[in-house]
Amino acid sequence: MLKVVLFDLDDTLVDQEGASRTALLDWLPELGLGLDDVEELAAAWLAIAEEAYARYQRREITFQDQRRVRVREFLGADATDAEADELFSGYLSRYERAWVAFDDAVPALRRVRDAGLVVALLTNGDSTHQRHKLDRTGLAEHLDVVVASDDMPAGKPDPRAYAATCAVLGVAPGDVLMVGNDVEKDFQGPLDAGMGAVLLDRHDRYPEVTDRIRTLDEMPLAG
């Protein structure tokens, strides 16, 4: 019996990828970097960010440290913590201004609640940062429960993340449907943990996955 629909946040409900790119393009001139090689710079920023964030998720560095790592590696600068924080703030202010929920996000959350199900969120992001994002995008009021990885023993796709989330929700894994865009963290990991899962594949990157949807409008609610 389906009781909970558990959503991912970044690139599921909020266009994180688009916000990051918008912020980077606006930030580069402030750093003295031109836009002639923007695709190369954008790819480098993304790769550095993913690796730094993975280190944060493994508890090797703090959330603030991963931001400093990103700045130092991207600019090749031996910046102090204070200097790195100041530099990153130029990106962060632009990034936050660019946050926007996907058009199908709020209607999907409302549909879940109207079906009498719990609307929950499981994010690998920092709790304070992600709650700020939810408030800023207007999504917070449509969620019943928010679980962030820094409140748990580990983040997705570690099995402990899903077990801890079920404990918070007070349900069995089989009562939960996970919906998200990451094939490992939001699809295979939940399935291995005994949950239901549907992959949100907005860009048609995983045609081999049977249980996938292209928009949240297609999300199934059958238990």
Contacts of residue 45, Cβ cutoff 8 Å, sequence gap at least 6: 20, 24, 70, 74
Residues 204, 205, 209, 213, Cα dihedral to 10° = -30
pLDDT of 153:
86
Give pLDDT tens digits for 79-122: 999 999 999 999 999 999 999 999 999 999 999 999 999 999 99
Q: What is the pTM of this model?
A: 0.92
Average confidence (pLDDT) over 193-197: 98
Tell whether the model's pLDDT for residue 15 goes beyond 80. Answer: yes
Question: What's the CA gap between 42 and 38, in Å, rounded?
Answer: 6
Nearest to 95 by CA among 20, 160, 25: 20
- From the number of C-beta atoms within 10 Å of its C-beta (0-12, 13-18, 19+), residue 176 rates as buried
Phi, psi of 217 (to 5 degrees): -65, -25
Nearest to 7 by CA among 98, 107, 108: 108
pLDDT above 90 covers a percentage of the chain that reads: 87
Q: Which domains does the chain have, with CATH numbers?
A: 4-15+100-218 (3.40.50.1000), 16-97 (1.10.150)
Average confidence (pLDDT) over 71-82: 94
Give pLDDT tens digits for 131-166: 999 999 999 999 999 999 888 888 999 999 999 999
pLDDT of 166:
97
Question: What's the CA gap between 112 and 105, in Å, rounded?
Answer: 11
Tell whether the model's pLDDT for residue 223 goes beyond 60. Answer: no
Q: Residue 12 in contact with residue 180, Cβ under 8 Å? A: yes
Q: Residue 190 in contact with residue 4, Cβ under 8 Å? A: no
Give pLDDT tens digits for 172-193: 999 999 999 999 999 999 999 9
The overall average pLDDT reported for the chain is: 95
pLDDT of 222:
61
